[in-house]
Chain A
Amino acid sequence: GNSVTQMEGPVTLSEEAFLTINCTYTATGYPSLFWYVQYPGEGLQLLLKATKADDKGSNKGFEATYRKETTSFHLEKGSVQVSDSAVYFCALGRGGSEKLVFGKGTKLTVNP
């Protein structure tokens, strides 16, 4: 079945550091891939997505590229801010009534 594996962290960085959160997936066919962010006490917000191989999703300085050859969708940001502190979830989905499959989440803490 479909699955998502992401580094569990926690990850602690200083402000302006480079961020990478690894995400790999197992799936048949061509699912869409997502990164969601959850701030403390809140629901999930879509951060970025990619719907086909080699697509690059980007938003708020974050980027991730859909790599079919390595079945990966790693999240990167060149310079993190304190406000980026949150839990990040990688997920895959196909639409319809099919559920999203989530990774376990990675907690990021950025210190000033």
Chain B
Amino acid sequence: GAVVSQHPSRVICKSGTSVKIECRSLDFQATTMFWYRQFPKKSLMLMATSNEGSKATYEQGVEKDKFLINHASLTLSTLTVTSAHPEDSSFYICSARDAAGFDGYTFGSGTRLTVV
């Protein structure tokens, strides 16, 4: 079945630094990928929709300059948290849809970001 690889699974960084999270579709091409943020004991909050070769579409309230999304190929999207602060600590999850047809969405295993 479709597999989405997300790295790193855990990262600790200092305040003010930037962190890049990668999301790769391993066995299918994904024209669209989605980035979510999940707070403890809460549901997933969609941050942005990433389209290959074009600018990401951000949800209301999500800072574009802080959460940079790049979808440079059909198999890779990256989320960069810039100038991270402790309040950015969270669980980030990506998902991808197979460009060949709609068979649902496949999720990555998530990235636990801790900013100290």
Seen from chain A, the residues whose Cβ lies within 8 Å of a Cβ on chain B are 32, 34, 36, 41-46, 49, 89, 93-97, 99-100, 102-105, 107
CA distance A34 to B49 in the complex (A): 19
Classify the interface of chain B: helix, strand, loop or mixed: strand
Seen from chain B, the residues whose Cβ lies within 8 Å of a Cβ on chain A are 6, 31-32, 34, 41-44, 46, 49, 51, 93, 95, 97, 102, 104-110, 112
CA distance A107 to B106 in the complex (A): 21
Interface centre among B42, B43, B51, B102 (most CB of A within 10 A): B43
Residue pair A46, B43 in contact (C-beta under 8 Å): no
Residue pair B43, A100 in contact (C-beta under 8 Å): no
Contact for B110 among A43, A93, A94, A96, CB less than 8 A: A43
Which residue of A has the minimal Cβ distance to B110?
Answer: A43
Residues of chain A lying within 8 A (CB to CB) of residue B34? 99-100
Which residue of A has the minimal Cβ distance to B50?
Answer: A97
